Amino acid sequence: MTIMQIVYAPNAIFKQMARPVDKIDDEIRGIAQAMAETMYVEGAVGLGANMVGVDRQIVVVDLREGGMKNPYIMINPEIIEYSAETDDYEESSVSFPGISAVITRPSNIKMKYLDLDGNEQILEAGFPLARVIQHEVDYLHGIVYLDKLSKMKRDLLVKKMLKHMKMYPPHVHGAHCHHGKH
């Protein structure tokens, strides 16, 4: 099991557009698998590749409905339709520890992506899957959920996050970890 290190804000990688994947090979499949394992260890429901320091368009999502692991691994994900209907819901991120905010997003989406075999997939999703996918795909486009807030609210939350990180330093994965060694 390979666990990747979460990149924490503030970090310039969150303002960059991730590069498309040109070829799905064993390296890309390995990155995607390690991202999924990291997502589970971190207790997250999704990760964009830049959240683990990888400048590629890869997203992993798993709502673990019914307690079962059923990850979506999406290469070069592209949302091609958004519903006019929206909903508000509280979002957070493992890259922005200790804070959350209510964000308005389209309720339903239609998207296309490549699976790990390079086959194009079309997915129509509603709440909550659509919300998680939008959150993670935004990361690949240099957008974090705090960007959807007013500057004043965003600045307040970043200050709160930095205070939280000082009080509770984020875990750094390394040789001393026992993740998955049961």
Catalytic residues: 136
Query: What is the rounded distance in angstroms from the CA atom of residue 74 to the CA atom of residue 25?
Result: 14
Phi, then psi, of 57 in degrees rounded to 5: -85, 85
Single-letter amino acid code for the residue at 25: D
Query: What is the rounded distance in angstroms from the CA atom of residue 14 to the CA atom of residue 35?
Result: 17
- For residue 11, give Cα distances in angstroms to 40, 52, 144, 146: 23, 11, 11, 14
Per residue, the 3-state secondary structure of 117-141, as one string, reads: CCCEEEEEECCCHHHHHHHHHHHHC
- For residue 179, give Cα distances in angstroms to 39, 115, 117, 172: 12, 27, 28, 12
